[in-house]
Amino acid sequence: MSEQTSFEITQKQLDECVELLKLDPGVHAILRMPMREIHVSLPVRMDDGSLKVFQGYRVQYNNAKGPTKGGIRFHPDKTIDNIRAQAAWMTWKCALLDLPLGGAGGGILCNPKEMSRGELERLSRAYIDQLSDFIGPEKDIPAPDVYTDPQVMAWMMDEYFKINRANHFGVITGKPLAIGGSIGRTDAAARGAMYAIREAAQVHGLDLTKATVAVQGYGNAGYFAALLASTLYGCKVIAASDTHGGIFNENGLDAEAIRKQKSMTGSVVGLPNTEPITNEELLELKVDILIPAALENVITETNAPRIKATILAELSNGPTTPEADAILLKKGVHQIPDFLCNAGGVTVSYFEMVQNAYMYYWDKELVHSRLDKKMTSSYNAVHNTATRFNIDMRKAAYAVAVMRVVEAMKCRGWI
């Protein structure tokens, strides 16, 4: 059997939710596919004088609840199918957090690791040149994602300003603080996950000060997850990994030391006083909290029987296949599904839009407290739904999110 694509997995998860909710087939058909896809070719002059044409995409999935919102990825392997999945997950994520936004996703097929900053700037501006008619604070608001950062967002925002001859700061989120970014955006996804983990720990009677944690994927989100797990709650991080492999120390790891090791060498591997382990071994460690923060489809029906974590906090998008979900449910693993667990990023992006709109900026404590409130209420809505209908947390998250989108569609007269 061929491996399922990310979008096929999102559709299968939606199908199960629709069956549970007994929705009309026409409504199902609307929810199952993006409302709009934009494909663009981007000619860019490279540093050596050659002209190279890149392919870019923007998928606007559903805007029933408001303007669409979603990240932009620079990646050599990200296909339109990945971006469709990204846009679908963002739709459910915004609805689950009860944000007045729909879902979108975008990307450019490129290898940013092989490009200069000048080439990346020209590529970023070319993307906005092609998409400026389709984005805006009341249409579609991009944000950073894989291999994009605040500087890329700044270039894109500036290009939009030049085309429209006006400063619309809310057209892009994830911007530098100097030009309308929000305090608390950098660690928002991981911080939101920590608030959800705290709620899950209370449900299971888990003392976080004695909890062990393993983090698979030590990028921005993984680093902040390790840091906040230890500094906020006193958890002991015993394993971490990246694409090159992993490290383990049963006595605990220091998040900053791991970050410095990766910064100096390009990998977490080789940190003094640690044992090497593989990514596969990390996923199967006996820990209280397992945090996949990297790739899609890393927990499958093959390795799910060997997962020993009490709480599986899905900080990355789509780390668990539907077949693995069923196995984990039988094993009693408590999953915090991806579009709940990692929703802190889009929530603080929404806060950034609000601050841009009335040109008054919040302090760190206010951002954190409002993020905590959103994540806590969303976790409780999902957990209460799961308990009420005796379903797993992912189905419950879909049920809450999909019904909110359907209600908006009904109010607007779409169905």
pLDDT tops 60 at residue 109: yes
| Mean pLDDT within 92-100 | 97
Kindly report the three-state secondary structure assignment for every residue of the chain.
Answer: CCCCCHHHHHHHHHHHHHHHHCCCHHHHHHHHCCCEEEEEEEEEECCCCCEEEEEEEEEEEECCCCCEEEEEEEECCCCHHHHHHHHHHHHHHHHHCCCCCEEEEEEEECCHHHCCHHHHHHHHHHHHHHHCCCCECCCEEEEECCCCCHHHHHHHHHHHHHHHCCCCHHHCCCCCHHHCCCCCCCCHHHHHHHHHHHHHHHHHCCCHHHCEEEEECCCHHHHHHHHHHHHHHCCEEEEEEECCEEEECCCCCCHHHHHHHHHHHCCCCCCCCCEEECHHHHHCCCCCEEEECCCCCCECCCCHHHCCCCEEECCCCCCECHHHHHHHHHHCCEEECHHHHCCHHHHHHHHHHHHHHHCCCCCHHHHHHHHHHHHHHHHHHHHHHHHHHCCCHHHHHHHHHHHHHHHHHHHCCCC
| pTM of the shown model | 0.94
Mean pLDDT of 367-387: 97
Q: What is the structure's pLDDT at 2?
A: 57
Which fold does the domain 188-341 belong to in CATH? Answer: Rossmann fold (3.40.50)
pLDDT value at residue 130:
98
Asked if pLDDT for residue 264 goes beyond 80, the answer is yes
Q: What is the pLDDT of residue 170?
A: 93
Question: Residue 49 has what pLDDT?
Answer: 97
Residue that wins the pLDDT comparison between 322 and 309: 309
Per-residue pLDDT band for 296 (boundaries 50, 70, 90) equals: confident
pLDDT beyond 90 at 118: yes
CATH number belonging to the domain at 34-171, selected among 3.40.50.720, 3.40.50.10860, 3.40.640.10, 3.40.50.150: 3.40.50.10860
pLDDT, residue 104, reads: 98
Q: Mean pLDDT score of the chain, rounded to an integer?
A: 95
Task: Read off the pLDDT band of 1 (50, 70, 90).
Answer: very low
Q: What percentage of the chain has pLDDT greater than the value 90?
A: 93
The string of pLDDT tens digits covering residues 11-58 is 999 999 999 999 999 999 999 999 999 999 999 999 999 999 999 999
Fold match between domain 34-171 and domain 188-341: yes
Write the pLDDT tens digit of every residue in 286-295. Answer: 999 999 998 8
Read off the pLDDT of each residue in 372-388 and give the average, rounded to a whole number. 97
Instruction: Please compute the mean of the pLDDT values over residues 383-397 and round it to a whole number.
Output: 94
- Confidence class for position 68, pLDDT limits 50, 70, 90: very high
The model's pLDDT over 311-326, given as tens digits with 9 standing for 90+, comes to 999 999 889 998 999 9
**Residue 408 confidence (pLDDT) above 80:** yes
The residues spanned by each domain of the chain are 34-171, 188-341
Choice among 95-104, 295-304, 368-377 with the minimum mean pLDDT: 295-304
In this prediction, residue 6 has a pLDDT band, given cuts at 50, 70 and 90, of confident
Which of 61-70, 192-201, 386-395 is the least confident region?
Answer: 386-395
